Each structure stands twice: as C-alpha cells, then as structure tokens.
C-alpha cells in the first residue's frame, strides 16, 4: 500500500535520507530501528510531508503522494503520532481528541469516531474533562495515539511511542499497537526499543546514517550489525 522509491530527503540543504526505499503491504506492522540521529523521524516526516523530499517518489494506494500537503495526506488515510508525547497540555482530553478530528469536519463522523476511540481507550472517556497535563506519561501517549486514530487512518505512523515510559506502560502501548493492527490499520513504528519493536513487526528496517542498512524479520536481532548498534557488539 506504501512504496517509498529511492528518496533523498532532509531540511533545506541538509540532506538526511540518502536513497531510501521501502515497501509496506496492507495490514503489516513495519518497524524502523537505528541509532539516534539515523534519520528515523525524518523518514516518517518525509511520508507526512513535514520535511523536503528532494528526489524519489512516495506512492500510497497507487497514487503519487510525494508533494501532497499534510492535510491532504490525512484525507488520503495517513495519520502521524510525532515523537515526544505531543498533546495539548492545557486542553482537556476531549478537546485534544477533537483537535485530531477537526480536519474531518462533519459532526456526525466526529461523534462516531469519538465513540470508537472511547470504546478503544475506556480511560479516555473517564478522563474526558481532565486537562491533558494531569495524565501520566503513558496515558498522554495513548491520548496522542487516540488523536491520530480518530482520523480513522489506513496507515498509522508512530514515532517512538514507548520513549521514556515504564516497562508496564510500554507493554500497554505495544499491546495497543497490536490491537490497532488487528483492526486492519497498517502501521509503521519507529522505536529505540529494538527487541520489542522487532517482536511485534512483520518486517524491520534498520536505518543508519540516513540509509537502510538491513531489512528482515525477527532474525534481524541476531545480526551482528544490529547487535553492534544496540548491545555494544555483545
């Protein structure tokens, strides 16, 4: 459903991604791992048109979306949860979700999708009138995911959803990612937590210095290069 063809992308003259290609099939969970600064977030941003793609193509459902503005990408069925639990702290839980739904416009659809999110994350319903800053880190991350899911995406881009969370909160996030996938949403997840990401992914891409160094299934954790990045060569 998503094909990234030889893209070079970055910020102004600062080219970060160099000849990156990726192929994502409908319903897959794809993990992207790699060291800090490798360009993982930039890769997600290039799909969502939040950085410059200088050459190459991005095809989504047989359509060239390379130059489409971000709000059109949301209409096409792509949603993005940025790195770092970005919720609006001074808005309530419900207002945060409505911000995600804003782009849909039609009240009926918004109400229906809001119900769907509350069914999926019951605690968000319980806390709907609380300010987002009163939620725990893990709950804020789930709210950020809810805000993207309310757009009813076909493809969900998740940037380091488990960053800075306790093992228990992390497990909850990964369980939710699996549940979202079972609903038929295709997922690309960027993660520092390589083991957890690889274990839920159908395939993993390892990004190093703006290039895809390696791609494969769960066996990838045994690869020397991956061990070097994450486990100091152990």
List residues binding ligand ATP (CB under 6 A): 11, 14, 16, 34, 36-42, 83
* Contacted by 42, from Mg ion, ligand ATP, none: CB < 5 to 8 Å by type: ligand ATP
Nearest to 149 by CA among 128, 107, 118, 189: 118
Nearest to 157 by CA among 76, 57, 55: 76
Of 50 and 99, CB closest to ligand ATP: 50
Of 11 and 102, CB closest to ligand ATP: 11
* Contacted by 153, from Mg ion, ligand ATP, none: CB < 5 to 8 Å by type: none
* Contacted by 36, from Mg ion, ligand ATP, none: CB < 5 to 8 Å by type: ligand ATP
Q: Are 104 and 151 in contact (CB under 8 A)?
A: yes
Of 7 and 190, CB closest to Mg ion: 190
Smallest separation (angstroms) from Mg ion to the CB of 86? 13
**Binding stretches for Mg ion (CB under 5 A):** 40-41, 83
**3-state secondary structure (DSSP) of residue 149:** helix
Smallest separation (angstroms) from ligand ATP to the CB of 193? 11
* Contacted by 37, from ligand ATP, Mg ion, none: CB < 5 to 8 Å by type: ligand ATP
Distance in angstroms between the alpha carbons of the first and the last residue of the chain: 37
Of 104 and 207, CB closest to ligand ATP: 207
* Contacted by 176, from Mg ion, ligand ATP, none: CB < 5 to 8 Å by type: none
* Contacted by 11, from Mg ion, ligand ATP, none: CB < 5 to 8 Å by type: ligand ATP
Backbone dihedral angles phi then psi of residue 71, each to the nearest 5 degrees:
-65, -30
Smallest separation (angstroms) from ligand ATP to the CB of 78? 18
Which two three-digit tokens encode residue 193? Answer: 């937590």
Q: What order do you get walking across the sheet with 203-208 strand by strand?
A: 78-81, 155-159, 186-190, 29-33, 203-208, 211-216
Q: DSSP alpha helices (H): ranges in the chain?
A: 40-47, 70-76, 93-101, 107-120, 122-126, 137-149, 167-182, 194-200, 224-231
Of 113 and 140, CB closest to ligand ATP: 140
Smallest separation (angstroms) from Mg ion to the CB of 163? 9
Smallest separation (angstroms) from ligand ATP to the CB of 87? 18
Smallest separation (angstroms) from ligand ATP to the CB of 9? 10
Q: What is the DSSP string of 188-226?
A: EEE-S-HHHHHHH-SEEEEEETTEEEEEESGGGGGSHHH
Of 52 and 92, CB closest to ligand ATP: 52
């Amino acid at each position: 459903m998503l094909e990234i063809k030889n893209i070079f992308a970055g910020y102004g003259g600062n080219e970060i991604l160099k000849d990156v290609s990726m192929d994502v099939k409908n319903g897959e969970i794809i993990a992207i791992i790699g060291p800090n600064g490798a360009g993982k977030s930039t890769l997600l941003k290039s799909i969502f048109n939040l950085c410059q793609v200088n050459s190459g193509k991005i095809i989504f459902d047989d359509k060239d979306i390379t130059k489409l503005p971000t709000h059109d990408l949301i209409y096409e069925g792509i949603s993005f949860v940025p790195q770092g639990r970005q919720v609006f702290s001074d808005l309530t839980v419900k207002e945060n979700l409505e911000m995600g739904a804003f782009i849909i416009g039609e009240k009926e659809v918004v109400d229906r999708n809001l119900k769907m999110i509350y069914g999926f994350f019951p605690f968000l319903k319980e806390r709907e009138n609380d300010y987002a800053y009163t939620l725990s880190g893990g709950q804020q991350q789930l709210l950020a995911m809810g805000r993207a899911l309310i757009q009813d995406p076909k493809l969900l881009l998740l940037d380091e959803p488990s960053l800075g969370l306790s093992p228990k909160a992390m497990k909850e996030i990964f369980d939710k990612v699996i549940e979202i996938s079972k609903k038929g949403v295709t997922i690309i997840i960027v993660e520092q937590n390589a083991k957890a990401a690889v274990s839920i992914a159908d395939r993993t891409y390892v990004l190093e210095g703006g290039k895809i160094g390696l791609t494969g299934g769960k066996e990838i954790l045994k690869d020397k290069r991956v061990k070097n990045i994450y486990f100091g060569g152990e």
